[in-house]
Amino acid sequence: MKTMWALKPGTAALAAVAGLVLIQTASASLILVGPNPESGQGLGAVQTLLTIQGQGQDQIESGCISPTGSANCGFPDATVQSGANTTVRGINGVLAANLRFVFNGNEPGNDNLVTLNDLVITVYNGNTAIFSSAGLRNSNGTLVNPSVGLNFNPFSGTGNSGYLFRLTTAADNIPGDNQAGALQAILNGLGPNANLTVGIGALLSNASGGQETFSLRIASSGGDVPVPEPSTFALFGGSLILLGLLRRKRSA
């Protein structure tokens, strides 16, 4: 998996957009798990939260979704695809630690990296925001600078496989950063008539196509096990073949 740090060209467009959504990252709250262990079946068959697509030669994509639409929720919404299954999703009865968010970058030919600069989830009770995440961590726990972002290999097919994120937990052992616990405490204080939904906002750069999608997934109690890359399967298979040939040669 080519998930890496990389400095991006300092475009004026990215600086202008990032200036609207940059946040303090002393305590980040969404952490990268890895490749999504479950493949979706395409747009409409997964619980899509947000669909965004670049316009013209602009390589910046951004947008967000709330119960009242895609305006005024923290990210410029010029690239949000209306009517593309973009909506908040109900999470009544779901544990905060089981919330998962899948990013699927769908670029032409899947031959260039796409950069995720910022990702924010917001939980609502009705139309009122009761929790909002702040910042990203790499899978090793390090903070992500929004002006640098995380680079990902695109996946083919809109709304299919992608990269999995979750809220930080106490098990991550990051001082002051247990956002699943913070959200769960809020949820525990709400009455039975709560109407809980979750929306999402994102900022991407180096995106020359799309549609890029963000979807909701609820983890099982068994947790998440990222699937190996195809190259990993190929390496493992090749090793088995070589081992078999060596054994045949020894027994001959």
Whether the upstream peptide bond of residue 211 has omega within 30° of 0, thus cis, is yes
pLDDT-derived band at 230 (thresholds 50, 70, 90) equals: very low
pTM of this structure = 0.77
Q: Domain extents for the chain?
A: 12-225
**Which of 12-26, 47-61, 181-195 has the weakest average pLDDT?**
12-26
Looking at per-residue pLDDT, the higher value among 208 and 238 belongs to 208
| Alpha carbon separation from 201 to 173, 194, 214 (Å, rounded) | 26, 23, 9
Mean pLDDT for all residues in the chain? 75
From 136, 107, 86, 83, select the one nearest 205 (Cα to Cα).
107
- Sign of the torsion angle spanned by Cα atoms 170, 176, 180, 183: positive
Alpha-carbon distance of 134 to 168, in angstroms, equals 11
**pLDDT tens profile 70-119:** 777 888 876 787 666 788 999 999 999 999 999 988 766 655 788 999 99
What pLDDT is recorded for position 56?
Answer: 57
Up-side HSE of residue 236: CA atoms within 13 Å toward CB?
6
**Which of 6-10, 19-23, 75-79, 144-148 has the weakest average pLDDT?**
6-10
Is there a contact between 196 and 183 (Cβ–Cβ < 8 Å)?
no
What pLDDT is recorded for position 28?
Answer: 77
Is 102 exposed, middle or buried, given 0-12, 13-18 or 19+ CB atoms closer than 10 A?
Answer: buried
**pLDDT tens profile 19-59:** 444 433 446 799 999 887 666 555 566 788 988 887 655 68
What pLDDT is recorded for position 73?
Answer: 80
Structure tokens at 164: 């999995």
Sole residue written with tokens 């939904």:
197
Residue 167 reports pLDDT greater than 50 = yes
Interacting residues of 230 by C-beta distance below 8 A, sequence separation 6+? none
Residue 145 reports pLDDT greater than 90 = yes
DSSP reduced 3-state for 61: strand
Is there a contact between 117 and 22 (Cβ–Cβ < 8 Å)?
no
What pLDDT is recorded for position 208?
Answer: 72
Looking at per-residue pLDDT, the higher value among 14 and 165 belongs to 165
Alpha-carbon distance of 55 to 185, in angstroms, equals 41
Strand 61-64 relative to strand 196-205: parallel, antiparallel, unpaired? Answer: antiparallel
What pLDDT is recorded for position 178?
Answer: 94
